[in-house]
Structure 1
Amino acid sequence: MREQGLLEERLQLFRDTVQMKKTNKIPNVSNFWTWKILDSEYKLSEAMLDWDKMFKLVCDFQERYNFDAHMDLGTRNPIAMINPLGEHFYQIDDEKEIINVDDITIMNGDEYDELKTNPTKFYWTKALPRRYPNITIENLKKSMFEFGAFNNYSENISNIFREKYQSPLILDRRFILMFGFDMLFNFLRGMKELSSDLRRHKSEMLEVLDVMYEMSLAPTLKAAMLADTSDIPFDTSSVILGHSILNVKQFEELYWPTFKKVFDNLAENGKTMYLFCESEMMRFYEFFQEVPKGCLAIHLEQDNIFDMRKKLPNICFVGGMTTDLLGNGTPDQCVNYAKRLIDELGQDGGYIFSQNKMMSFRNDCKRENLLAVNEVVRNYRG
């Protein structure tokens, strides 16, 4: 790609790829998150509590590896904003180089009707005080100050990546769709309690999911359908994990009705979506056979991407490069596998190169392996 107009070329490359068109290059998306810090001179706690340090290391990361687009620009963990509120769900261990997050339960199993009746009131009068029991006006002010610093950082880093590096962000905050079941899974009930609710409170849960769709997801989807989104790679995006505790029948009841509405809107309006599916998706593949060709890119984590391509020729797939190879293999082994991914998945369009996992731990990757892989993805044509 020529330097002039590189951003526009990259954006067009993503649009063509998700529409299953054959392209002259395979786009390369960074699925690197906390690993960027471990690849820098900073400790986790230093970078995550200092936006200047985060800014430097994220820019250094792009200058070193030159990705076409990114899933994260250092904004994943909101520790600086929630620490003043007495938040203790995040634990940073600089010695072990890990971050632990507690499974959070701030809603009781008998409160679905209350949440359904008035979600806003429930969030302010029940959820917020339970998550931050020691909240005061003073620490709320401190949190708002940190939130302002976060917004400034987010805007500045996004602008630098667009203007200097001409490398866009995949998960644009304006049009991220939050599915109701993931709200319950990640923020309100937690993994353990929500698993029990599938047996005890499923009917109430279904009613809540309808309310959450109308209150939150539907307005965001409508905004994306009406907006000029030519400045981002995908018109909408989402990250899901709650499906990991569901069987096929439960997925059909709790996720698919909302997915169907989203995909119908995308097809009707000629829009696209980037869906990062943590965990495993293979058992649900038959549902996605209904998705119109050219509107959806699915980033796979634990699935065999070659098998999924055979079952879903209508879907653009993202991922494939494994942490096992990047963290434990040699540069030659990584390069050979990268070439196989491009040869088998990308020759006829519909494939975006990336890592399968959210790269977060030291042993997920070696620098020399990533440098070799990105070089071959930039230049290899099969």
Structure 2
Amino acid sequence: MKLTTEQRVEMIKKAIMCEKPERVPVVNKAEPSYAIQYAGYDMKKALWSPEMIVDAYDKLYTDVYVDATGGLPRFPLFYKTTGSRAFVPREQDDFVQHPEVEGLQADEYDEYIADPFKCIVNKIVPRIYPKLAKEGAEGSLNYLRAMIADNQIKAKYMAGTIAVEKKHNLVSIRRGAVEAPFDFVADLLRGFTGISMDVRRNPNKVKEAVEATLPIMYKVAKLVNPVPSITNSLFIPLHMPSYMRTKDFENLYWPTFKRLVVDLINDGYTLQIFFEKNWTRYYEFLQELPKGVIAYFEEDDMGVVKEKIGKQMCIMGNFPITMLRLNTKQECIDKAKEIIDKAAPGGGYMFCMDKSILSLSDAKPENLIAVSEFVHEYGVYK
């Protein structure tokens, strides 16, 4: 049964607000790279062509049942124009990857803490995007070229995406992304290795840097998602907590992250937060957060998640994409049923995979089609 856009909006709103909709919404986690391969297109050509990506998604949505979608490709154009070291297109196909980078030296914390924006502009950006640091007019021209071209390609993509979503009656539930303050310091300033050493050797400086980062992340959130709404959530992927000691998480990560979440929810935002790896030891912290969160889990048992935080957060995730690659169609359906039976009762639940599906080697199309259709048919509230 094909639902109207209005029916899907109402269904998704109820799930986000921890109420019981007519059905369990099915959330798409197939990335543009998967859609491109599914459509049989050349990856390198398609990543430079928003029209090809839009057409690929049109083909995917024709075959795979989806209620909710959202997100934006990382087009290689911007990263090549700026010489990015943080996000690097692969040689063979221009798929953008995120290697470890160090934009801030260990002895530069004080400079960053004193004026983070100035430090980002004068030191960190030139290190991470070296073509913007070229002497004379060249650096400025590279910046203008990158921004104009990036805005043009994204505008074409968004226009095409809106048309495809309208054609298939889909609801976009994600607009823009921002990092938790600690993750920003870890990912773009110090790198995983650097921040891991700093937490042990100089935790007070780390804490000051994270505190100084909070206002910037708040402003970034407002820029990338200027009009808050229930369904158009702001995405926040959480990287470091599963690698931290609980006491370090409590002292260095949690305070600024909680303030960011509370402030944005008070401003009317819905936040789609990706809890990477396993969060079992942090459930008591999550119980402090207000309603307005779509809690997207990777490894956690959804029955336990439902019990611990299901009354205050819409939950989703946990279906292992490895099963879509390795298991039979029936085994995949059985796993989907198991998760729904744990997480769906009472509402406040949306079905999706444990992580993004990047390529055909991640998921057999026939298994993805079968699971999505099964969830749509089985996930009916009575």
TM-score, length of structure 2 as denominator length: 0.86
1:208 aligns with 209
Amino acid at match of 2:156: Y
1:326 aligns with 324
Are 2:50 and 2:156, in contact at CA under 8 Å, matched by a contact in 1?
yes
Amino acid at match of 1:80: L
Q: Give the secondary-structure state (helix, strand or coil) at the position aligned to 1:29.
A: coil
2:298 aligns with 301
Structure-1 separation of matches of 2:90 and 2:228: 39
- Are the structure 2 counterparts of residues 110 and 154 from structure 1 closer, same or farther at C-alpha, using a change threshold of 3 Å? farther
Are 2:65 and 2:369, in contact at CA under 8 Å, matched by a contact in 1?
no
1:38-91 superposed Cα distances (whole Å, 9 cap, x missing partner): 32212332222222222221222222213111243xx33242111022335524
How big is the shift at 1:355? 0.4
Structure-2 separation of matches of 1:361 and 1:376: 22
Matched, 1:107 2:104: yes
- Are the structure 2 counterparts of residues 227 and 48 from structure 1 closer, same or farther at C-alpha, using a change threshold of 3 Å? closer
Q: How does 1:155-170 map to 2 (within 5 A)?
A: 155-170=158-173
Out of 261, 269, 289, the position equivalent to 2:259 is: 261
1:229 aligns with 229
Amino acid at match of 1:58: Y
1:63 aligns with 62
Count of residues in correspondence between the two structures: 371
1:372 aligns with 370
Amino acid at match of 1:180: P
Amino acid at match of 1:151: K
Structure-2 separation of matches of 1:302 and 1:190: 24
Are 2:78 and 2:146, in contact at CA under 8 Å, matched by a contact in 1?
yes
2:185 aligns with 184
Are 1:71 and 1:171, in contact at CA under 8 Å, matched by a contact in 2?
yes
Out of 98, 104, 116, the position equivalent to 2:113 is: 116
How big is the shift at 1:268? 5.7
Are 1:179 and 1:217, in contact at CA under 8 Å, matched by a contact in 2?
no
Structure-1 separation of matches of 2:57 and 2:319: 21
How big is the shift at 1:29? 0.6
Structure-2 separation of matches of 1:364 and 1:328: 9
Structure-2 separation of matches of 1:51 and 1:270: 31
Are 2:48 and 2:75, in contact at CA under 8 Å, matched by a contact in 1?
no
Are 1:309 and 1:317, in contact at CA under 8 Å, matched by a contact in 2?
yes
How big is the shift at 1:256? 1.8
Structure-2 separation of matches of 1:90 and 1:12: 39
Q: Give the secondary-structure state (helix, strand or coil) at the position aligned to 2:171.
A: coil
Q: Give the secondary-structure state (helix, strand or coil) at the position aligned to 2:172.
A: coil
Are 1:14 and 1:233, in contact at CA under 8 Å, matched by a contact in 2?
no
Amino acid at match of 2:158: E
Unaligned runs of 5+ in 1: none
Unaligned runs of 5+ in 2: 133-137
- Are the structure 2 counterparts of residues 57 and 306 from structure 1 closer, same or farther at C-alpha, using a change threshold of 3 Å? same
Bigger shift: residues 147-156 or 185-194: 147-156
- Are the structure 2 counterparts of residues 255 and 170 from structure 1 closer, same or farther at C-alpha, using a change threshold of 3 Å? farther
Matched, 1:284 2:282: yes
Q: Give the secondary-structure state (helix, strand or coil) at the position aligned to 1:172.
A: strand
Bigger shift: residues 343-352 or 130-139: 130-139
How big is the shift at 1:287? 0.8
Amino acid at match of 2:104: M
Are 1:158 and 1:169, in contact at CA under 8 Å, matched by a contact in 2?
no
Structure-2 separation of matches of 1:289 and 1:365: 34
How much identity, in percent, do the aligned residues show?
Answer: 24
- Are the structure 2 counterparts of residues 94 and 331 from structure 1 closer, same or farther at C-alpha, using a change threshold of 3 Å? farther
Give the CA RMSD over aligned residues. Answer: 2.8
Are 1:43 and 1:94, in contact at CA under 8 Å, matched by a contact in 2?
no
Matched, 1:133 2:130: yes
How big is the shift at 1:19? 2.4
Are 2:78 and 2:149, in contact at CA under 8 Å, matched by a contact in 1?
yes
- Are the structure 2 counterparts of residues 83 and 277 from structure 1 closer, same or farther at C-alpha, using a change threshold of 3 Å? same
How big is the shift at 1:253? 1.7
- Are the structure 2 counterparts of residues 143 and 362 from structure 1 closer, same or farther at C-alpha, using a change threshold of 3 Å? same
Are 2:64 and 2:368, in contact at CA under 8 Å, matched by a contact in 1?
yes
Structure-1 separation of matches of 2:69 and 2:49: 21
